[in-house]
Amino acid sequence: MPVPEPDAPRRAALLTLGCARNEVDSEELAGRLTGSGWELVDADSGTADVIVVNTCGFVEQAKKDSIDTLLAASDAAAPRGAKVVAVGCLAERYGAELAESLPEADAVLGFDAYPELAERLGDVLGGHAPAPHVPVDRRTLLPISPAARPAAASDVAVPGHAWVPNLARTRLSDAPVAPLKLASGCDRRCAFCAIPSFRGAFVSRPPDDVVAEAAWLGMHGVRELVLVSENSTSYGKDLPGGTTALARLLPRLTHVPGIDRVRVSYLQPAELRPDLLEVIATTPGVAPYFDLSFQHASPSVLRRMRRFGSREDFLGLCERIRALAPEAGIRSNVIVGFPGETDDDLAELEAFLTGARLDAVGVFGYSDEDGTEAAGYDGKLPPEEVARRVEHITSLVEELMTQRAEDRVGTEVTVLVEAEEDEDFECTGRADHQAPEVDGECVLERGSGLEVGDLVRAVVVATEGADLLVSPRERLPRSELATAGAARESG
C-alpha cells in the first residue's frame, strides 16, 4: 500500500447494511470522520485506506449479508494493503466472537467506539488494532425507570443521537429524503426479537435536537423526513410531557424550512394513542402513513410472542385510521411459522390480512434468534413447513396489495421524485402511502420533465402490482405542501 504524504488526509469508505436507523448511524460516523480530518471516498474507488462496514445483525439473512460484505471488502482491500473494520449491530451483538470467526476483519468495534472512531481507525492503520468489542446486554447500561434515563444517557454511546451544530452528520447521499432518529432502543420484550439486548433500553432524543437536525437536513436539500426508531410510539416516555411528545413534535417539524413531508415509521399498534393517530392522519405536511407492527393476528400466537391484540382489535384500528384519512397508507410485517402456530392460527392471520386491505406487507418465516425467549420454545415447526406457510401468505398478500393499489386508480397523490427519466428508465417517486424501499413506488408518465426532488401532484391512471402509474398535474413549490394540504381540506 503506498505511503500517503505526511499532510494527506486519510481516506475512509463507509458501507451500510440494514435499516434506515443504520443509515443515520453511518452519516453520524461520516460526520465524526470528516470532522477529524478524514476524507470520505467511494468504496469502489480503490483509494480507501480503510473500509468501514456498518453491519446488520437482525435476522439470519441480514447476518449472512453482513458477513458476505465484509469478506468482499476484505478481498478488495487486501491487494492494496487497506484495512476493513466491522461496526454496527452485528459487531455490537457478537464482538469478539465475530472477530475470531472472521479474521478478514482487521477490527470489530462496538457502539462505545463510535465517539473515538477516527482514533480507532488510526490505530488500525498503524497496526495497533483495538481489542475486539466484548458484548454486554445494553439494557443494563441505563436505569430501569425511563424517567431516570436522560441524565444517565450522556455517559452511554447511543448511535444517531450525537447531532449538535458543531458535529453535524455528513450526508452520504443527495437523495431528497433522509431518515432522522427519534429515539434508540426498546423496552418491549417480544419473544422473537434480540434487538433490545444490543440496541439497549429506550432513549428519546430531545425534541429541540430533532427539530434542529431537521432544519439542517432541510438546508441540505431534503424535502421528506422519515422519523425512525425501534418504537416510535414510545417517544417521549422518558421526557417531560410523556408519550404525548410525538403528537406535539410532528406539527413543529412541518414548519421547518425546506421540509415538505414528514413520515413516521415503526409504530406499535398497542401503543398508538388516539391523539397521535389523529395528528398523523390529519396534519397537513405529515404523511398519513401508518407503519404498524402487527406481526400476527391470532391472540394465542400474539401472547406467545409477548405481544397484544387480535384480528378484531387490528381491524378496528385500521377502520379508525381510514375514518380520519380514507386514503391513508397502512403497512405491516408478519411472522409465520412461529412455534405452536396451528392451522387455525394461520387462518386467523389470513382473515385479518384479507379484511385489512393493507398497502404493503412484509412476510417473514420464523427462525430462532440467539438469546431470545422463543428460541427455547417447544412446538417448533419443521423448516419446510415454515417455508410453505411463507409462500402461501406471500402469495395472498401480493394479490391483496395489487387489489389495494387498484383501489387508488383515479385518486390524487402527491409524489416526491427520486429518480429522473432517461433513455432506459422512467421517472419514479413515492406518494404519501409509500415509504422508501419497503413499499411500492409511483412511475410517472414519460416526458414529464421532472427532476429529482420535485414534488408533484398527480393522478393514478393504472397499476403494476403494488406500483402506481401516475399522470403529473402540478409541480408544487418547495415548503408549500402544508399550505396545499390545508387548502384541499378546507375545500
Domain's final residue, options 385, 407, 429: 407
Position 344 scores a pLDDT of 98
Specify the pairing of strand 203-204 against strand 107-108: unpaired
Residues facing 210 on adjacent strands = none
- Domain shared by 394 and 420, yes or no: no
CATH number for the domain spanning 84: value is 3.40.50.12160
Write the pLDDT tens digit of every residue in 331-379: 999 999 999 999 999 999 999 999 999 999 999 999 999 999 999 999 9
- Domain shared by 322 and 188, yes or no: yes
How many whole angstroms separate alpha carbon 48 and alpha carbon 25?
A: 20
Residue 3 belongs to a domain:
no
Residue 490 belongs to a domain:
no
Q: Locate 23 and state its grid cell.
A: 443509515
- Domain shared by 222 and 110, yes or no: no
pTM: 0.91
For residue 193, say whether it is annotated as part of any ligand binding site.
yes
Exposed/middle/buried for 33, CB within 10 Å: 0-12, 13-18, 19+? buried
- Domain shared by 200 and 163, yes or no: yes
CA distances, 192 to each of 59, 75, 219, 303 (Å): 10, 34, 40, 12
Residue 157 belongs to a domain:
yes
Write the pLDDT tens digit of every residue in 214-235: 999 999 999 999 999 999 999 9
- Domain shared by 367 and 440, yes or no: no
Q: Locate 384 and state its grid cell.
A: 419446510
Report the candidate in 491, 443, 438, 437 with the shortest Cα–Cα distance to residue 467: 443
CATH number for the domain spanning 465: value is 2.40.50.140
Residue 276 belongs to a domain:
yes
Residues facing 473 on adjacent strands = none
For residue 318, say whether it is annotated as part of any ligand binding site.
no
User: What contacts 87, CB < 8 A, 6 or more positions away?
Assistant: 29, 52, 53, 54, 55, 109, 110, 113, 114, 117
CATH number for the domain spanning 225: value is 3.80.30.20
Residue 439 belongs to a domain:
yes
For residue 442, say whether it is annotated as part of any ligand binding site.
no
Provide the number of structural domains found in the chain: 3
- Domain shared by 228 and 303, yes or no: yes
Q: Locate 77 and state its grid cell.
A: 482491500
- Domain shared by 200 and 260, yes or no: yes
Residue 482 belongs to a domain:
no
For residue 427, say whether it is annotated as part of any ligand binding site.
no
Write the pLDDT tens digit of every residue in 160-208: 787 665 566 888 999 999 999 999 999 999 999 999 999 999 999 999 9
Domain's final residue, options 407, 428, 461: 407
For residue 56, say whether it is annotated as part of any ligand binding site.
yes
- Domain shared by 187 and 248, yes or no: yes
Instruction: Give buried/exposed letters for 322-355 (b at 16+ CB in 10 A, else e).
Output: beebeebbbbbebbbbbbebeeebbebbbebbeb
Q: Locate 488 and state its grid cell.
A: 384541499
- Domain shared by 132 and 266, yes or no: no
Domain's final residue, options 353, 383, 407: 407
How many whole angstroms separate alpha carbon 83 and alpha carbon 86?
A: 10
Give all strands of the β-sheet with 289-291 in edge-to-edge order.
Answer: 289-291, 329-336, 360-365
- Domain shared by 403 and 458, yes or no: no
Write the pLDDT tens digit of every residue in 61-111: 888 899 998 998 888 888 888 899 999 999 999 999 999 999 999 999 999
Confidence of residue 486 (pLDDT cuts 50, 70, 90): very low
Residue 482 has pLDDT above 50, yes or no: no
Residue 2 belongs to a domain:
no
Q: Which residue is associated with the grid cell 384500528?
A: 317
Write the pLDDT tens digit of every residue in 407-463: 999 999 999 999 987 766 789 999 999 999 888 899 998 877 889 999 999 999 999
Q: Which domain holds residue 130?
A: 11-136
Distance of CA 368 to the CA centre of its chain: 22
- Domain shared by 206 and 333, yes or no: yes
- Domain shared by 19 and 107, yes or no: yes
The rounded radius of gyration (Å) of the Cα atoms in the chain is 23
Residue 380 belongs to a domain:
yes
For residue 19, say whether it is annotated as part of any ligand binding site.
yes
